[in-house]
Amino acid sequence: MSNKQRIVVVGGGIAGLALSTQLGQHLGRSGKAEVTLLDRNGAHVWKPMLHTFAAGTANSYQQRISFVAQAARCSFRFLPGGMQDIDRQAREVVVSPIVSAHGEEVLGERRVGYDVLFLAAGSRANDFGTPGVGEHCFFIDDLHQAETFNDRLYADLLRTAALGEPLTIAIVGAGATGVELAAEISQLLDVASSYGAGDLRPRLTLTLIESSPRILAAFPEEVAGAAAQQLRTLGIDVRTGVRVVGADASGFELGDGSRIEASLRVWAAGVKAPEAVAGLQGFELTPTGQIKVKPSLQTTTDECVFALGDCSSLVPEGASRPLPPTAQVARQQAMHLARHVPAWLDGKPIPPFILRDLGSLVSLSRYNAFGTLGRHGLFRNRFIRGRFAQLSHALLYRLHQAELHGLGRAGLIWLSDAISATVRPRIRVD
Ligand SMILES: Cc1cc2nc3c(=O)[nH]c(=O)nc-3n(C[C@H](O)[C@H](O)[C@H](O)COP(=O)(O)OP(=O)(O)OC[C@H]3O[C@@H](n4cnc5c(N)ncnc54)[C@H](O)[C@@H]3O)c2cc1C
């Protein structure tokens, strides 16, 4: 019988794919472990780009990484399917059946055994049970949802260009997702107008709705203030301190009894764990379903099960609140585990995870970007804006690509992105 450790990673997002890649290269290649990645999709995309795919200002095909190809190159195995449950007694992940778009069962329920399990299944927006939201709003939580929204936006934009119909869009939630999506839609209208569709901007009513007193509640005030001003300059109606109590086929109902009419409605507020995680038994969960972890990122109830990224909740020592669900936390947790798990398999402890705060940045399409660069380096805690902030925002994605592909291949991808940006249309045009 083989004495290889069976390592299973659930979720090939920012945290899970980086971890599978690193563990595959270090433990899979040397034959020390068999690393398996499980994901319900066939390809990875950088989630902070979803709003650009939703708006049609970036091409998702160009940014996808096929799990099968990455697995073959980096010595891990890819198993398609969604985690349905964990049988901790048998140490098996229960994988739900795969059903085709026509309703045929392609693969039945399966089970995959593990010695060590990493849960990295991400998060979803949280509608807090608000009536009508599930039926009448678009969500931008994964590529499929971003593309579904884009299809509808594209159809509405065609009607606006051809018939002069108004385009009314309302986005609930002015965190990074909502703010960046609003700016991207504005960019889409500008580029579409420059492609000869006439001046579409006067036809657009775009409302950004936020229940907190200000937008970008998780960002420093200076960043939020500058972003709000930029959005207003773009003609976006930014409404803060407004509570949405219901959604229907023509708009949102507000707490004070008034309404915001919108033919396209997006829900981008709140964060909760995906159902498959929130429904797990035998783990300590937060009220929104994230798995509580120790500083080593091991779950509080099972040393062989780790959780990282958005689906986990870690309150650092001395802090009163958990780390935020962000790309930099997910990325750094994956690299921390990739560094320390090989020694842990040989009996050494995993040191506590400490976040290196690289700051918080928000990018308003090509118009501007704002942020701070964290507590390290030359620009620590300094407010930045403009081209430098845009480049810093893009750097996190470029670092992720370098970790997945190595510097040489990542360099070629950056070059091909730069060439595409000059030779292809800047928005979806067909
Ligand atoms: C539009 C948008 C913009 C954002 N902008 C920023 C930003 O500017 N800066 C920033 O720091 N953060 C941003 N974020 C947040 C950031 O994307 C997340 O914090 C980050 O992606 C979390 O990484 P993760 O690996 O935990 O999860 P993800 O990257 O979401 O990956 C989760 C993976 O798990 C898979 N999965 C889910 N359920 C299952 C299951 N049951 N079985 C198998 N696989 C499953 C999914 O298919 C996915 O591949 C943004 C998010 C959105 C939606």
pLDDT in tens, 264-311: 999 999 999 999 999 999 999 999 999 999 999 999 999 999 999 999
Strands, DSSP E only, in 283-342?
Answer: 291-292, 305-307, 312-313
pLDDT of residue 243: 96
What is the average per-residue pLDDT within 76-83? 97
For the CA atoms of the chain, what is the radius of gyration?
22
State the distance from the centre of ligand 1 to the C-alpha of 193, rounded, in angstroms.
32
Q: How would you class 365 by CB atoms within 10 Å of its CB: exposed for 0-12, middle for 13-18, buried for 19 or more?
A: buried
Residue of minimum CA distance from atom 37 in ligand 1: 121
CB 385 within 8 A of CB 227: no
Distance CA(117)–CA(92), nearest Å, equals 9
What is the average per-residue pLDDT within 202-229? 95
Q: Which atom of ligand 1 is nearest to the CA of 277?
A: 41
State the distance from the centre of ligand 1 to the C-alpha of 38, rounded, in angstroms.
15
pLDDT of residue 255: 96
pLDDT of residue 349: 96
What is the average per-residue pLDDT within 70-84? 97
pLDDT category of residue 417 using cuts at 50, 70 and 90: very high
What is the average per-residue pLDDT within 178-197? 92
Q: Longest C-alpha distance within the chain, in Å?
A: 70
What is the average per-residue pLDDT within 317-328? 93
Q: Which helix (H) or strand (E) holds 94?
A: strand 92-95
Amino acid at 209: I
- Give the ranges where 289-385 is alpha helix by DSSP (H): 327-345
State the distance from the centre of ligand 1 to the C-alpha of 328, rounded, in angstroms.
11
pLDDT category of residue 376 using cuts at 50, 70 and 90: low
Average pLDDT, whole number, for the chain? 94
Residue of minimum CA distance from atom 26 in ligand 1: 309
Residue of minimum CA distance from atom 50 in ligand 1: 48
State the distance from the centre of ligand 1 to the C-alpha of 238, rounded, in angstroms.
26
pLDDT of residue 430: 77
Q: 């048998």: which residue's tokens?
A: 90
pLDDT of residue 3: 78
Instruction: State pLDDT tens for residues 86-103.
Output: 999 999 999 999 999 899
pLDDT category of residue 196 using cuts at 50, 70 and 90: confident
For ligand 1, pick from 17, 47, 64, 216 the residue to mutate: most ligand atoms within 8 Å of CB: 47
State the distance from the centre of ligand 1 to the C-alpha of 79, rounded, in angstroms.
19
- Characterize 198-237 residue by residue with b for buried, 16 or more Cβ atoms within 10 angstroms of its Cβ, and e for exposed: eebeebbbbbbbbbbebbbeebbeebbbbbbebbeebebe
Q: Which atom of ligand 1 is nearest to the CA of 393?
A: 8
State the pTM of this model.
0.95
Q: Which atom of ligand 1 is nearest to the CA of 16?
A: 25
Tokens of 400: 């992720």
Handedness of CA 122, 125, 129, 132 (dihedral sign): negative
User: What does residue 104 show for φ and ψ, rounded to 5 degrees?
Assistant: -80, 140
What is the average per-residue pLDDT within 14-37? 97
pLDDT of residue 373: 83
What is the average per-residue pLDDT within 367-378? 81
What is the average per-residue pLDDT within 181-205? 91
pLDDT category of residue 198 using cuts at 50, 70 and 90: confident
Domains along the chain with CATH numbers? 5-123+272-345 (3.50.50.60), 133-267 (3.50.50.60), 360-421 (no CATH)
Residue of minimum CA distance from atom 8 in ligand 1: 48
Q: Is the pLDDT of residue 70 over 80?
A: yes
Residues near ligand 1 with C-beta < 6 Å?
A: 10-16, 38-41, 47-48, 50-51, 82-83, 120-122, 140, 176-177, 180, 274, 276, 309-311, 325-328, 330
Percent of the chain with pLDDT over 70: 98
State the distance from the centre of ligand 1 to the C-alpha of 200, rounded, in angstroms.
33
Q: How would you class 369 by CB atoms within 10 Å of its CB: exposed for 0-12, middle for 13-18, buried for 19 or more?
A: buried
Q: 């200000």: which residue's tokens?
A: 214
State the distance from the centre of ligand 1 to the C-alpha of 310, rounded, in angstroms.
7
C-alpha distances out from residue 351 to 262, 342, 356, 420, Å: 50, 13, 15, 43
In the chain, what is the straight-line distance between the N-terminal and C-terminal CA atoms, in Å? 55
pLDDT of residue 429: 74
Query: How many residues are given for the chain?
Result: 430
What is the average per-residue pLDDT within 390-409? 94
Distance CA(186)–CA(200), nearest Å, equals 10
Nearest-CA neighbor of 118 among 335, 250, 401, 307? 307
User: What does residue 364 show for φ and ψ, rounded to 5 degrees?
Assistant: -100, 70
Please spell the DSSP secondary structure of 197-222, one letter per residue: I---GGGEEEEEE-SSSSSSTTS-HH
pLDDT category of residue 159 using cuts at 50, 70 and 90: very high
What is the average per-residue pLDDT within 190-212? 91
Instruction: State pLDDT tens for residues 323-372.
Output: 999 999 999 999 999 999 999 999 999 999 999 988 889 999 999 999 99
State the distance from the centre of ligand 1 to the C-alpha of 54, rounded, in angstroms.
15
State the distance from the centre of ligand 1 to the C-alpha of 119, rounded, in angstroms.
13
Distance CA(147)–CA(53), nearest Å, equals 7
Residue of minimum CA distance from atom 19 in ligand 1: 326
Tokens of 222: 């200076």
pLDDT category of residue 140 using cuts at 50, 70 and 90: very high
pLDDT category of residue 197 using cuts at 50, 70 and 90: confident
Residue of minimum CA distance from atom 7 in ligand 1: 48
Distance CA(195)–CA(374), nearest Å, equals 40
State the distance from the centre of ligand 1 to the C-alpha of 197, rounded, in angstroms.
35
Q: 């500083």: which residue's tokens?
A: 295
What is the average per-residue pLDDT within 225-243? 96
pLDDT category of residue 217 using cuts at 50, 70 and 90: very high
